[in-house]
């Protein structure tokens, strides 16, 4: 009799709406907990990937910043360089062939040396400038020659001594072969009428010297 009552009560509880309500709530609670855990894990993974991606972008940005640093202000530096080149041309590039020969003649007189077999030629024209070469024999006392050489190197006109070769010496007299370069603007070089600079092993054609003396 007692067992029958207990079975009847159990069946009533199982079929009770309240029991099913609790069971449904428990199932929903488990689902919510499971979804919350899954969402938390996904969020952590997403956040980690976002942090890695952000760090990667920051590194790329820093690398680009370092690469472009030399280009900053490039336009100003280019204009400054052009201005310096114009100043150099105006101050140190001779305006004509005659000014070169006149300056060489002035340094010759001031130092006391003697130039002979003077030959001027012009190289291949460049975009802006053309090289003017001077080959000459120089003779004089050693202090005079050094004074002439130092004057060439320090002159306002841009001279470059290419070579000096000893060709003879007698007593205090020294004889050298001298090779000097300077430059003219391309149009000025073309107007000079100077012969082309010979290639290695080729002899230049005889030309009058800068001061009107014939080549000896």
Please tell me the distance from the alpha carbon of residue 181 to that of residue 104, in angstroms, as a whole number.
12
Given a cut of 90, is residue 183 above it in pLDDT?
yes
Q: What is the mean pLDDT of the chain?
A: 78
Provide the CATH topology of domain 95-192: Alpha-Beta Plaits (3.30.70)
Residue written as tokens 């890695």? 52
The predicted-structure confidence for 77-133, as pLDDT tens digits, reads as follows 777 777 888 888 889 999 999 999 999 999 999 999 999 999 999 999 989 899 999
Domain ranges of the chain: 2-65, 95-192
CA distances from 115 to 62, 104, 177, 214 (A): 63, 9, 10, 12
**Residue 203: what pLDDT?**
56
Among 103, 127, 130, CA closest to 189:
130
Please tell me the distance from the alpha carbon of residue 185 to that of residue 156, in angstroms, as a whole number.
16
Please tell me the distance from the alpha carbon of residue 187 to that of residue 130, in angstroms, as a whole number.
9
- Which pLDDT band holds residue 211 (cuts at 50, 70, 90)? very low
Among 175, 192, 171, 71, CA closest to 125:
192
Among 182, 214, 198, 193, CA closest to 104:
182
Segment of 8-17, 67-76, 181-190 carrying the highest mean pLDDT: 181-190
């Amino acid at each position: 009799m007692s067992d029958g009552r207990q079975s009847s009560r159990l069946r009533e509880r199982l079929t009770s709406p309240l029991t099913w309500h609790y069971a449904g709530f428990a199932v929903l609670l488990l689902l919510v907990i499971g979804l919350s855990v899954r969402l938390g894990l996904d969020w952590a993974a997403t956040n980690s990937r976002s942090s890695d991606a952000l760090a990667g972008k920051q590194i790329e940005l820093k690398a680009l910043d370092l690469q472009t640093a030399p280009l900053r202000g490039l336009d100003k530096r280019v204009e400054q360089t052009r201005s310096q080149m114009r100043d150099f041309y105006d101050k140190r590039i001779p305006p004509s062939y005659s000014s070169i020969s006149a300056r060489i003649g002035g340094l010759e007189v001031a130092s006391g040396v003697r130039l002979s077999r003077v030959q001027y030629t012009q190289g291949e024209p460049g975009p802006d400038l053309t090289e003017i070469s001077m080959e000459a024999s120089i003779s004089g006392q050693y202090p005079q020659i050094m004074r002439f050489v130092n004057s060439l190197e320090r002159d306002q006109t841009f001279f470059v001594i290419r070579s000096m070769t000893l060709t003879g010496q007698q007593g205090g007299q020294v004889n050298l072969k001298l090779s000097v370069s300077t430059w003219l603007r391309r149009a000025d070089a073309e107007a000079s009428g100077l012969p082309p600079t010979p290639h290695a092993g080729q002899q230049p054609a005889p030309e009058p010297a800068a001061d009107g003396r014939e080549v000896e």
